[in-house]
Structure 1
Amino acid sequence: MTHDAPAYGLWSLVILNSAVFVMFAFSFFKPQTARDWRSFSAFAAFIVALFVEMYGFPLTIYLLSGWLQTRYPGLDLLSHNSGHLWSTLLGEKGDPHFGALHIASYLLLGGGFWLLSEAWHVLYHAQRRHALATVGPYARVRHPQYVAFVLILLGFLAQWPTLLTLLMFPILLVMYGRLAITEEREMEQQFGAEYRRWAAQTPRFIPRWSASTAPPNPEG
């Protein structure tokens, strides 16, 4: 097996890509409270862990190397394409960057960042008015920013799965769920009956797309 260019040990790419995606998410999320910083820090840790394996040291490939060499004897474990494990495990041929999973990952990433931006825009203006955010993404789910983070994480997992990020993902889901419940308690204390009416008609994370379920209050 030959390697025309190094696939790993590219720590400058680890730093560059981690910084770009973390700062990009930061520019949309803009954490302010301690709860915001906890959720954002967990997201940032996931991103760093991902790019460390993508361009730095392929821990997952190293740990699975014996099984991979037995199952796929012709696989070049040190090539970048081999890190796209879903393509290997599903038996896809050709460049994995043009496969269905990679395209789906771009859609998830784009949708996640778009939702994060839209949610922040609505929340920012609602906070300035000391009002409850109920329009835009908040007309469909109570926590669109957490949904956005999950879409982004799923996008990266579809593109480049690692043992560490696969382990982190359910932990992050539980953490975001608990943060959402804490946030809801605070919002109920602040807005009272207005919040309870909106929450009764708006799902926490998974939207209902029927028009009849949209909150009737157009303000906030």
Structure 2
Amino acid sequence: MKEEFVHSGTWGLAVIMIVLASWILYRYLAPKTWREWASAGVVQAFIIALYAEMYGFPLTIYLLARFFELDRYDLNANLWSSLVGLGETGMLISMLLGYALLFVGIGIFIQGWRELYRAHRQNELATSGLYALVRHPQYTGLFIGLFGEGVVHWPTLFSVGLLPIIVLAYGLLARSEEKRVVAQFGEEYRAYQQRVPMFFPRMGQWRQLVQRSGGDGGKDEQPPA
């Protein structure tokens, strides 16, 4: 492989990023049931695989060079940079776009947790702010962040392969959670389910989702039926 791979072999940085990302994950998802732990475990595997390749050993590039007979000296540690052939320019573009999505996702993730925590303390159903646009904004933020970091910024075989599994796992988890909420709030939550999509806002509401992730609550505004 190219000796000038910038991040390869920096295992200390890989460990720091894995610990930091894992702390955020478990701090705000706070899994309790086995379903929650199983879903969080898949995300944990995504995080470990991603940063181990990003800062440790570029396994995806190595496998491409090994099994598809690509010239390893024409490859860069970043997959998009190598496939598109834009070199450092391609790496910079994918990095900027990926980080933008990552930070948007983190903002949605944390703000969703705050709104849900506030609703739980008041024993109310969370339906305002981000919850007026999607029923599970924490998971929406998680998906956006993982897509930005593990597909746009630094795609690997593991990150691209695990992302659909993560979406499926949290889709099943969300349906299980909603059964418990229906048992508590009844028709009020059923009506909310009919109004608001599960993970992804309707066309034209993505800007509102990003704006509200910064704390712009929009408390009483509801999406159109």
**Structure 2 counterpart of 1:161:** 155
Q: How does 1:1-220 map to 2 (within 5 A)?
A: 3=3, 7-66=7-66, 70=70, 72=71, 74-75=73-74, 77=75, 82-99=76-93, 101-156=94-149, 157-208=151-202, 209=204, 214=222
Cα 1:142–1:6 change in 2 (3 A) is closer
Deviations 1:128-181 (A, max 9, x none): 122111111111011111111110110112111111121111111111111111
1:29-84 deviation line (CA, Å, top 9, x unaligned): 344444433333322221111111112222212211146763x5651x5xxxx121
Aligned length: 208
Q: CA RMSD in A?
A: 2.6
TM-score (norm 2): 0.81
Call closer, same or farther: CA 1:133–1:34 in 2, change over 3 Å: farther
Q: Distance in 2 between matches of 1:114 and 1:171?
A: 23
Residue pair 1:43, 1:149 contacting (<8 A) in 2 also: no
DSSP 3-state at the match of 1:94: helix
Asked if 1 retains the 8 angstrom alpha-carbon contact of 2:132 and 2:196, the reply is: yes
Please report how far the alpha carbon of residue 190 of structure 1 lies from its aligned counterpart in structure 2 after TM superposition: 1.1
Q: Describe the shift of the 1:6–1:150 C-alpha distance in structure 2 as closer, same or farther (beyond 3 A).
A: closer
Contact 2:128 2:222 in 1 (8 A): no
- Residues 84 and 6 (structure 1), Cα distance of their counterparts in 2 relative to 1, 3 Å cut: closer
Structure 1 counterpart SS, 2:163 = helix
Aligned-partner Cα distance in 1 for 2:80–2:9: 22
The alpha-carbon deviation at position 26 of structure 1 amounts to: 3.2
Q: Give the Cα–Cα distance (whole angstroms) in 2 for the partners of residues 104 and 5 of structure 1.
A: 21
Q: CA deviation at 1:95?
A: 4.2
TM-score normalised per structure 1: 0.83
Residue 215 of structure 2 corresponds to which residue in structure 1?
Answer: none
**Other structure's SS at 2:127 match:** coil
In structure 1, distance between residues paired with 2:17 and 2:55: 9
What is the rounded CA distance, in whole Å, between the counterparts of 2:72 and 2:48 in structure 1?
A: 30
Other structure's SS at 2:134 match: coil
Paired with 1:6 and 1:161, the residues of 2 have a C-alpha distance of 16
Task: Give the partner amino acid of 1:45.
Answer: A
Q: Determine what percentage of the aligned residue pairs are the same residue.
A: 38
Taking structure 1 as reference, are residues 45 and 91 closer, same or farther at Cα in structure 2, changes over 3 Å only? same
- Indicate how the Cα distance of structure 1 residues 94 and 61 shifts in structure 2: closer, same or farther if over 3 A, else same: closer
What SS does the aligned partner of 2:162 have? helix
Cα distance change, pair 6–202 in 1 and its aligned pair in 2 (3 A): closer
For the structure 1 residues 98 and 8, does the alpha-carbon distance in structure 2 shift closer, same or farther, using more than 3 Å as the test?
closer
Q: What whole-Å deviation, never above 9, does each CA across 1:82-102 have from its counterpart, x for those lacking one?
A: 121112211224344421x22
Task: Label 1:214 to 1:12 Cα distance change in 2 as closer, same or farther (>3 A).
Answer: same
